[in-house]
Structure 1
Amino acid sequence: MHERLTDKTLAGFAEELSARKPVPGGGGAAAYVGTLGVALGSMAGSFALGKASLDQFQDDVRADLEAAERVRGRLIELVDGDAAAYLELSQAYKMDRADASRADVIERATKGAAKVPFAMMREICSAIDLIEDLENKVSHMLLSDIGCGAILCRSALEAASLSVFVNTESLGDRGFAQSLEADCADMLDDYVPRAEAITRRVADRIRRH
């Protein structure tokens, strides 16, 4: 790839996503959605800084914002990382079937293609942790952004998991595949309900206000 997907405009990325091209795909879209989710948490937290009524939370919010910046940067990298992993896998499948190394090359590339969305999931879980921590430390006027961030992160987490599972199902190394799948399931079981709970609490607080 000569141009990074993340250097494109929003419209350009959407156009690439809709085109008949192998990348970007669901994995890259998941990372991007997760980026938007954590960015919303950062925005809400940024407005809390310097606010007298939230003075007791200033140190916590600053720490959360620093962590969120790292998560956001990593997820942005994984948009292009996912595309690179998929292209490596597609090249592996194009190898001559008579090549004795083809199966091993495909196996390695498939593991690589599974590891990238798995890394996304770990970052998105961190994003949900941060949004959860910021929930009660931001202005009421920005609670909807916290809720939206939680919704986007939950969706991104589930979407990234599908990109893991679609690759692990074809792996010959079943021990590796099952271990990765189990870790994915644990993250989904823990963090999807937590993200949903944030959204429900935010909605209840807004509607009662």
Structure 2
Amino acid sequence: MIGSETISDYLKRLAAREPTPGGGAAGALHAAQGAALLAMASRYTTGEKYAEHEHRARQIASRAEEIISASLQTADDDESAFGAVIAAYGRPAGTEAERTARSEAIQEAVLEAGAPPQALILLATEIVELSNDLVNFSNPNVISDVAAAAEAARAAIATALVTLHINISSLKEAEAQEGLRAAADRAEDALELAQAVTRRVREKVAA
């Protein structure tokens, strides 16, 4: 599991000439880091000075911890799913029957490989939304970390979006494509919100 590796070991695997881990796993780690930053900023927004918002800050921190775990799981899921795609492409294609079976296996694997980036978009979008909430009452000493959380989530979403577009182009069935396109549309909205969070933080810092 990526979550139990050292950073050095993970980066060595990521840099190796191997198909996995790749961009999908890296995107999931962006989300995990964004959630961790969000949890940290929330925990600094507690105590007497922030009594009015402490309950909400603790809620955000708790949910952010859950997103960290879910994001790390998504990284592993993406690695497994892409491994299945590679295996499908490696199937024999000498006879017509083998070519048909290979094509069907590829389509099934590509469709299933769309699940991790869709899950990542949902998780990272939630990070952005929670950041957009926290920026309203955050401890000003960590408000830059709220923006960093949103930007890390934005990187995760952008990475997942590229993966989805590749999957869409590889699928033959229009119905299968539509499900991924809907997720892609949601991702575009989340990217815009993440940028808005960063703008709000900059405005607060400049005020």
TM-score by length of structure 1 reads 0.92
SS in structure 2 of the partner of residue 169 of structure 1: helix
Distance in 2 between residues matched to 1:186 and 1:160, nearest whole Å: 11
CA contact 1:23–1:86 (8 Å) conserved in 2: yes
SS in structure 2 of the partner of residue 14 of structure 1: helix
TM-score by length of structure 2 reads 0.93
Partner of 2:75: 79
Distance in 1 between residues matched to 2:3 and 2:55, nearest whole Å: 31
How far does residue 7 in structure 1 lie from its aligned partner after superposition?
Answer: 1.9
Partner of 1:140: 140
How far does residue 92 in structure 1 lie from its aligned partner after superposition?
Answer: 0.8
Distance in 2 between residues matched to 1:137 and 1:11, nearest whole Å: 36
Partner of 1:6: 3
- Total equivalences in the alignment: 203
Alignment of 1:21-36 (within 5 A): 21-36=18-33
Partner of 1:199: 198
CA contact 2:42–2:61 (8 Å) conserved in 1: yes
Identity of aligned residues (%): 26
**1:16 correspondence with 2:13:** yes
Deviation per CA, 1:10-43: give whole Å up to 9, x if none.
1221221111110111111001001111110110
**1:152 correspondence with 2:152:** yes
How far does residue 207 in structure 1 lie from its aligned partner after superposition?
Answer: 2.6
Distance in 1 between residues matched to 2:147 and 2:126, nearest whole Å: 16
SS in structure 1 of the partner of residue 44 of structure 2: helix
**1:63 correspondence with 2:52:** no
SS in structure 2 of the partner of residue 21 of structure 1: coil
Partner of 2:41: 44
Cα RMSD between the aligned structures?
1.3
Distance in 1 between residues matched to 2:3 and 2:157, nearest whole Å: 19
Instruction: Give unpaired runs (5+ residues) of structure 1.
Output: none
Q: Please, which of 82, 93, 96 is the counterpart of residue 92 of structure 2? A: 96
